[in-house]
Chains A and B, each alone.
Chain A
Amino acid sequence: GAVVSQHPSWVICKSGTSVKIECRSLDFQATTMFWYRQFPKQSLMLMATSNEGSKATYEQGVEKDKFLINHASLTLSTLTVTSAHPEDSSFYICSATVAGGANEQFFGPGTRLTVL
């Protein structure tokens, strides 16, 4: 089956620093990747839709200058949390759809970010 990886799986950083999270489709090409965020006991909330070679589409309330998304190739999308603050601590999950495939999305294992 389609496999999506994320790196790092967890990260702890100081307030004010930037953190980059990578999302890779390992055995398929993903024209579209999605970034979600999940706070404890909450549902996954879509942050942005990332299309290869174009600007990401951000959901309402998500600051594009704070959450920088780059989708430079068909197998890699990155999310950079700039000037992270404790309230950005969350579980960040990416997903990808198979180019030309059905609606099923494949999720990465998630990245747990803790900002001190």
Chain B
Amino acid sequence: RKEVEQDPGPFNVPEGATVAFNCTYSNSASQSFFWYRQDCRKEPKLLMSVYSSGNEDGRFTAQLNRASQYISLLIRDSKLSDSATYLCVFVSSGNTPLVFGKGTRLSVIA
């Protein structure tokens, strides 16, 4: 089983739609989880951390399910500017490297 698995998409959704991505991970020792956003030919940028209790930042909601070993990202009221690749990322501890999923590509269409 791969360390991190994501549906590569693309997800093509109209403006205003709600879209959700899931990401499964295999390392049960993973401690920290993140969603990063990467625009074409740019570096990844942190979108939000993911906490067990779930967390929300504006139109974005992230959830962690440790029992089933997956994290999710929900985007409400999609904007054209949300078009990007969304990477799920986890890290075991401290200064260990991030482990990236391959990313899910989202295209929001007018």
Residue of B nearest to A112 (CB): B41
The interface residues of chain A lying within 8 Å CB-to-CB of B97 are: 34, 46, 49
Q: Per-residue 0/1 for B30-72: is the Cβ within 8 Å of any A Cβ (1 yes, 0 no)?
A: 0110100000011111100100000000000000000000000
Number of A residues contacting the other chain (C-beta, 8 Å)? Answer: 20
In the complex, which residue of chain B has the Cβ closest to the Cβ of A31? B95
Interface centre among B31, B41, B44, B91 (most CB of A within 10 A): B44
Q: How far is the CA of A42 from the CA of B99 in the complex (A)?
A: 13
Interface size of B as a range? 20 to 34
Q: Is the CB of A43 within 8 A of B41?
A: no
List, in ascending order, chain B residues with CB within 8 A of A103's CB.
31-32, 91, 93-94
List 12 other contacts, CB 8 Å, given A44-B100, A103-B94, A108-B43: A34-B97, A43-B103, A46-B98, A91-B41, A93-B43, A93-B44, A97-B95, A103-B91, A103-B93, A104-B46, A107-B45, A110-B43
